[in-house]
Amino acid sequence: MIKTNSYAAHSPGEALKPWPLERRDPEPNDIVIEIVYCGICHSDIHTVRGEWGEQNWPFVAGHEIIGRVIATGDKASLHKVGDMVGVGCMVDSCRTCAPCEVRMEQFCENGFNGTYSGIEKPTGRPTYGGYSGVIVVHEDFVLRLPEGLDPAGAAPLLCAGITTYSPLRRWNVGPGMKIGIVGLGGLGHVALKIAKAMGAHVTFFTTSPEKVEDAKALGAHEVVISTDPAAMEAAAYTLDFVLDTVSAPHDLDPYLETLRIDGTMCLVGMPEAPHPSPDPGSLILKRRSLAGSITGGLTETQEMLDFCAEHGIAADYEMVAMDEVNEAYEKLLAGQVKYRFVIDMATMPAL
């Protein structure tokens, strides 16, 4: 076993604290990664606080992982010692169902194996995430970090980046399209950068007037205050696609009304409680669609990283030390971050 340190919660809502962790020895196709950076995702907080169901405790979060390969299994060939690599939301899947066969592991019919809250196939032990010094992952679920991409800024791309890139690609966002993005947070700010790089005309929706200039600085062509009825009325029937990144329950109808005929609104935020049901007339009378999307598969995630490197896209982040993670959680919940916290894993206490 590989001994390392981690930061773990021992019960729902408990503050995270150091916890010695044993990783499995590498199987023939495994990669051993020394974690350099790990982003803090809203999903980490929901899970740590028991809001998404019971967990195996102690619990180690973190699925936005950038690190350096320090060892490989005997048969591993995709990555070599010294490579900078990434690990996102998944570390395994069944590999045999129809989605897995086309590298859409996020839709694994038997359930993908999460970087945390999963069960390791080789050991039957819980999977533990990236708030740790080392992780061991099958090479098929390890991503190459392209040259020129800021490693710390790339960490959030492994969740926020692919969660927004995947639907933008699925609905063929590109030149000539007018799209809307709802919410300027960890997902929304990355979505804006990606959509702009794809060539779309981007309207940004926010409830906060103080975020108008930030959205424009990130590349929005227009910014609409969604609590302003006149501004929302002016935006009606103007967009081809809307990506809603907000994780809190809110009324979807005003955003659906911004869509043209055959427009689609896609949800990627996961609220604690359901959104109010949309008015069926909003959908029926304009042949609109309401859709949802989760993270992407491994092939698409690598495509996203390469796209971001080509276009100079990384997440805007604030670096925190490992012992600041509990404070970072509170700030994230209060919206006091632009726009993602990233943990410098060099600050992990020694065993």
Q: Average pLDDT of 53-62?
A: 88
Query: CB atoms < 10 A from the CB of 262, how many?
Result: 10
Confidence band for 344, pLDDT divided at 50, 70 and 90: very high
Residues 6 or more apart whose Cβ sits within 8 Å of residue 48: 9, 12, 13, 16, 59, 61, 329
Give the pLDDT confidence of 175-224 residue by residue, as tens digits: 999 999 999 999 999 999 999 999 999 999 999 899 999 999 999 999 99
Residue 179 contacts residue 242 (beta carbons within 8 Å): yes
Confidence band for 122, pLDDT divided at 50, 70 and 90: confident
> pTM for this one?
0.95
**CA distances (Å), 21 to each of 18, 50, 128, 225, 275, in order?**
9, 21, 9, 47, 38
At 121 the pLDDT is 86
Dihedral Cα 52, 154, 323, 47, nearest 10 deg: 0
Q: Calculate ∠ Cα 285-291-294, nearest 5°.
A: 170
Residues, the chain: 351
d(CA 122, CA 126): 11
d(CA 268, CA 166): 10
* Residue 242 confidence (pLDDT) above 90: yes
Confidence band for 293, pLDDT divided at 50, 70 and 90: very high
Q: Average pLDDT of 307-319?
A: 97
Q: Average pLDDT of 142-158?
A: 97
Read off the amino acid at residue 261: I
Confidence band for 144, pLDDT divided at 50, 70 and 90: very high
Residue 93 CA, distance from chain mean position:
18
Give the pLDDT confidence of 66-87 residue by residue, as tens digits: 999 999 999 999 999 999 999 9
Give the pLDDT confidence of 264-277 residue by residue, as tens digits: 999 998 887 788 88
d(CA 41, CA 339): 11
Q: If you write DSSP's letter for every residue of 199-249 in order, what string do you get? A: T-EEEEEES-GGGHHHHHHTT-SEEEETT-HHHHHHTTT-EEEEEE---S-
* Residue 291 confidence (pLDDT) above 80: yes
φ, ψ at 139 (rounded to 5°)? -60, -30
User: What percent of the chain has a predicted confidence (pLDDT) above 70?
Assistant: 100
At 270 the pLDDT is 83
Confidence band for 3, pLDDT divided at 50, 70 and 90: very high
Read off the amino acid at residue 317: Y
User: What percent of the chain has a predicted confidence (pLDDT) above 90?
Assistant: 86
Confidence band for 247, pLDDT divided at 50, 70 and 90: confident
Mean residue pLDDT of the chain comes to 95
Residue 253 contacts residue 279 (beta carbons within 8 Å): yes
* Residue 56 confidence (pLDDT) above 90: no
* Residue 351 confidence (pLDDT) above 90: no
Residue ranges of domains in the chain, CATH in brackets = 2-159+296-347 (3.90.180.10), 160-292 (3.40.50.720)
At 301 the pLDDT is 98
- Phi-psi sector, 203: left (phi>0), alpha (psi -120 to 50), beta: beta
Residues 6 or more apart whose Cβ sits within 8 Å of residue 280: none
CA neighbor of 302 nearest in space, from 166, 205, 107, 191: 166
Query: CB atoms < 10 A from the CB of 35, how many?
Result: 25
Collapsing DSSP to helix, strand or coil, 281 comes out as helix
Instruction: Round the CA-based radius of gyration of the chain to a whole number and report it.
Output: 20
Q: Average pLDDT of 307-312?
A: 97
At 19 the pLDDT is 97
Residue 308 CA, distance from chain mean position:
14
